[in-house]
Amino acid sequence: MSVPADAIRATDSSYHGLRVLVTGGLGFIGSNLARRLVEDGAEVLVVDAMLPNFGGNMANLDGFQDRLKIRIANLSEADVIASLVDGCDVIFNLAGHVSHIDSMTDPVTDLEANVRAQILLLEACRRHAPRVRVVFASTRQIYGRPSYLPVDEEHPLRPVDVNGINKMAAEAYHTLYHQVYGLQTVSLRLTNTYGPRLRVKDARQTFLGLWLRRVVEGGVFEVWGGDQKRDLCYVDDVVDAFLRAAATTGAQGGIFNVGGCLPVTLTELAQSLLAIAGSGGFECKEFPPARKSIDIGDYFADDRRFRELTGWVPRVSLEDGLARSVEYYRQHLSAYI
């Protein structure tokens, strides 16, 4: 299969000199993306509200603060957004609320961050930056409990929690603004992402963050259930997917799954993590009722559509990714707890 030329350039120098906005840029994926963009020669503006429990951490951009611009601002403030998007060539839109359990206890906050703020951003783009390319961080969570595996983009959307419903709505707004106003939007439905700069102080971002903290501290973590299958993608590969999504002609207006490694059960994942870390332990337990009600069971993605269009493939194996993650937190854990 031949790879489109512009997809190849997406991993080379296509961002040199471009003005790029990364919303949620002090968070996990956003900060890794911002660092890569700086290294590729882009002029980067990072925007983050730094709201409690949302995942933003100034330590995520250590060593890069003087190589990009950082703005602490909330996308829910309409008068602020126009100045942020004006003149941008590309927007990587990763701002939002990610905690599934928190969305069930405080649905209005989730709605504000994941729907209202997204509409305000799209409106600002329509009015002030109509030619900008926008890549939105969607999620596999909007599929809910899969009816079949692997899950492709045609699978019904049946979110099992408030966060999933709101992310589904935000994705739909991005698509609508492409269809009606011609805004160049792309949505990536990400599978479980992990790696350096992941939130590890608790399980609000993903269960694996807390697992990493426990093994680095030599403690014990809990595996709820254990038979559920997941595919995981290392953050550097996810960053590459974002870069290719924005740079590939033909991706605009599209919705794409982004998967990862071959699926493993959570018990197998826990065993691999312990073997790599050489410390810590885990216990298999029944799901807490509040978590069980929103668990989706098995999930792994069919992402052939994205691979064939962009030439993207995940390059970091699960074993290598876990090893890099453990090493990172052994060096930097104090900045994350």
DSSP labels, 219-246: -EEEEESS--EE-EEEHHHHHHHHHHHH
Predicted confidence at residue 7, as pLDDT, reads 42
Supply the pTM of this predicted model.
Answer: 0.94
**Are 75 and 54 a contacting pair, CB within 8 Å?**
no
Cβ pair 284, 223 in contact under 8 A: yes
Token pair 């390059």 in the structure block, residue? 315
Q: Check: CB of residue 38 under 8 Å from CB of residue 62.
A: no
For the chain (337 residues), the mean pLDDT of every run of 10, in chain order, is 40 82 98 98 97 90 97 88 95 92 92 96 97 98 97 97 96 98 98 97 86 97 94 98 96 97 97 98 88 88 98 97 98 96
Element (H, E) at 293: none
263: preceding bond cis by omega (within 30 degrees): no
Judge contact between 308 and 269, C-beta under 8 A.
Answer: no
CATH of the domain spanning 5-194+233-260+300-316: 3.40.50.720
Q: Where are the strands (E) in 35-145, listed by range?
A: 43-48, 69-72, 90-93, 133-139
Q: Which pLDDT value is given to residue 113?
A: 94
| pLDDT for residue 13 | 57
Q: What is the largest distance, in Å, between two alpha-carbon atoms of the chain? A: 54
The alpha helices in 27-96, defined as continuous H runs, are: 28-39, 78-85
